Amino acid sequence: MSYDLSQFYPVFFAEAAEHLDAMESLLLGLNHQAPDAEDLNAVFRTAHSIKGAAGTFGFTDMAELTHILEGLLDRVRKGELGLSDPLVDACLQARDVLHKQLATHRDGAPSDPDAASVIADRLAAFSISLQAPQLASTSASVSAGLVLEFYLPGSVPDQALLAEKLCRELSDFGNTHVLSSPSVEGQLWRIHIESCEDAEGAVGVVEFLAHDVHAITDESGTIAQQGGARKIQEESAFGLFEPEPAHADNEVESAYGLFSENMPTPNADSGDDSYGFFSALPPIAETITPPANKRLAANVDTTIRVGVDKVDLIINQVGELVITHAMLQQIASALDPVTFERLHNGLAQLERNSRDLQASIMTMRMVPISMAFSRFPRVVRDLSVKLGKQVELKISGESTELDRGLIERIIDPLTHLIRNGLDHGIESPVQRRAKGKSEVGLITLKAYQLSGTVVVEVGDDGAGLDRARILTKARERGMQVHDAMSDQAVWALIFEAGFSTADVVTDVSGRGVGMDVVKRNITALGGRIDIESMVGIGTRMTVRLPLTLAIVDGMSVAVGGESYIIPLGYVLESLQPDDAMVKRMGGVERLIQIRETYVPLIVLHELFGVRNALTDFSQGIIVLLEVDGRRAAVFVDALLGQHQVVIKSLETNYRKVFGIAAATIMGDGRVAFVLDAVALVSKANAAVQAAA
């Protein structure tokens, strides 16, 4: 039967990425002196699951590397190999190579077969050749139960390993050990199961993992059945492959390949069948029934995997539903509420249900911030080794939820902040010892929700920011600074492009690239970053982000016959000015005096060419905005109210327009534009600086 496996590639790619992330986290958390058995089993299962699914889907490069890695991890969990830093490093490097191989198959990224070959050789160097299972004497008496004889040709690799796996799988049926006698064509294996009460189930396991059972003998050694077991054909691999023409030489070999190499096999120690990759496959008519073994029962999964694009589609549809309700509400408002009481009550109920549905759908975009945090233990480990420092990373608040779109875009800024703290903040062990500190530095990563925002704190217990050094470096670069500047103003200098306090340029720091990108990226997300620092105590960077990019809390304003949305997070206050407050100073056409300060004034109807708008400042409204400490005022006709809006990309549906961040549809069906407050405030202040 022909079956197109490519339709299941997205499932494999997603779950393989999750397994690789779990593998990295588990490896980093292992205690080398006393590793937890459950953790060892878990990291083994990740490699085992990737190997099985990769082979099934034809990604042989990943299957081959994970096969080697699996064997090494199997030796470790059995206690045959001890954990060490070099061994963990090798496993982590293998994980990185697997991640790149996954990207090659998923995204078409360039492949590097040499890297896979190098890490495969390194892993093999740790492994001592697997010895054959402890063989009992062939003349030993069989105490009770049965003996299963099965045939493997000489072309099948790792026969001893296969027999060992069989023993583990058969251990549920009784105490098991291996008997062996040579054969001319290959190897005739004999496995003795003491006090076996389920002969049929045991035979099924052998057939499932190896090949046909050649003979079954009783406890006295008398042959009870000769060649009575059915053979596994190639089409029996869960109906996923077409049967090939029978071939005596490859029939057994391909059966071994499908079940030992390509398919995830049951794990005796963990009790997990590791068939997770196939949980999303639909029922297939032509299947083979696995052996009667309780460990092969799949756990019921209570979650489903849904693409973000599908969630966004539902959000848009719910937005259309809200708009339709608003249109009906507007029409019904002209009707007599007494005569049409039931209609008004029904519309009120529809509004409540629509709002609840919209809120529920939005939660589907929210994911734990641990998706971003999970990669930082590896970053800290690798960089601390490179810098010769001892650093512990403490993470809290991983369950805090954030919009998935934001998760993907904060990873790089947070990585820069952690690298900066580790490089510039944490001292060397010698320096920390001289200061009376522990030689092991501490970096903290914390997340929590506060007043409709998500706060992420990155701190270290290092030397803290050196105010004098920052001012000196700023003067060397020709920046306008003075000693009376506040600490916050001095700390803000490190976000300037090209600014660095490092004396030597390394591959970690010193180029002045990184912190300016951090601030720019965070600002682009509608967030801000603050710094607190004390000399000798440490530094804390606090990032504040909106919960989601899909909806905006905004202030609706009118300009002529148009409506605009100003993101509420940038609004400081609104006021009605008089003509005397508007000034022209130093070449700047319009500044408005608000109490003791002057800020640039943006007239929206002039910027966007809106007709029939108010031109008398005393009749309109001024909205004061602030972005990263810089302020600007926006002149509008009137304030319409505050509400949440579902944003739609203007650039995707039309083109990029300066001053416009997105668009939305209002309740009356009209399109309103969401202002790009960052761009507007930046341009207004740049014009003031240029005039000065």
Alpha-carbon torsion (656, 658, 660, 661), positive or negative: positive
CB 625 within 8 A of CB 634: yes
Question: What pLDDT shows up at residue 32?
Answer: 78
Whether residue 567 is predicted with pLDDT greater than 80 in this model: the reply is yes
Question: What pLDDT shows up at residue 502?
Answer: 62
What's the pLDDT tens digit per position in 437-460? 999 999 999 999 876 688 999 999
What's the pLDDT tens digit per position in 332-368? 888 888 888 889 899 889 888 887 887 788 788 888 8
Report, as an integer, the average pLDDT of 149-157. 60
Whether residue 158 is predicted with pLDDT greater than 70 in this model: the reply is no
Residue 632 binned pLDDT confidence (cut-offs 50, 70, 90) = very high
CA neighbor of 570 nearest in space, from 557, 581, 558, 554: 554
What's the pLDDT tens digit per position in 239-292? 222 233 333 333 333 333 333 333 333 343 443 443 333 333 333 333 333 333
d(CA 43, CA 602): 58
327-346 b/e (C-beta count within 10 Å ≥ 16 → b): eebeeeeeeeeeeeeeebee
Tokens of 100: 């790149």
Which range (63-77, 494-508, 621-635) has the least confidence?
A: 494-508
The H or E element that residue 209 is part of is helix 199-209
405-425 b/e (C-beta count within 10 Å ≥ 16 → b): bbbebbeebbbbbbbbbbbbb
Q: What is the share, in percent, of the chain residues with pLDDT greater than 90?
A: 12
Max mean pLDDT range (92-101, 226-235, 282-291): 92-101
Report which residue type is found at 178: V
Distances (CA, A) of 554 to 188, 358, 675: 76, 17, 10
Residue spans of alpha helices (H) in 421-485: 429-434, 467-476
What are the residues facing 293 on neighbouring strands?
none
Question: What pLDDT shows up at residue 251?
Answer: 35
Question: What pLDDT shows up at residue 385?
Answer: 86
Local structure of residue 570 (DSSP, 8 states): G
What's the pLDDT tens digit per position in 488-527? 888 888 888 777 766 554 555 544 456 888 888 888 787 8
Question: What pLDDT shows up at residue 4?
Answer: 66
Residue spans of alpha helices (H) in 586-659: 604-608, 650-653
The mean pLDDT of the chain is: 75
Higher pLDDT, 204 or 397: 397
| Residue 189 exposure: Cα atoms within 13 Å on the Cβ side | 27
What are the residues facing 395 on neighbouring strands?
445
What's the pLDDT tens digit per position in 108-118? 877 788 888 88
Long-range pairs, 67-73, Cβ under 8 A, ≥24: 67/261, 68/94, 68/120, 68/123, 68/124, 68/127, 69/94, 69/123, 70/44, 71/127, 71/130, 71/161, 72/123, 72/126, 72/127, 73/40, 73/43, 73/44, 73/47
Question: What pLDDT shows up at residue 276?
Answer: 37
CB atoms within 10 A of CB 540: 18
Q: Which residue has the tokens 């049967």?
A: 243
Q: Which residue has the tokens 């701190």?
A: 459
**pTM of whole model > 0.75?**
no
CB 209 within 8 A of CB 169: yes
Question: What pLDDT shows up at residue 43?
Answer: 87
Question: What pLDDT shows up at residue 566?
Answer: 92
In this structure, the dihedral spanned by the alpha carbons of residues 257, 259, 262 and 265, taken in order and rounded to 10 degrees, is -140
Whether residue 199 is predicted with pLDDT greater than 80 in this model: the reply is no
Question: What pLDDT shows up at residue 123?
Answer: 83
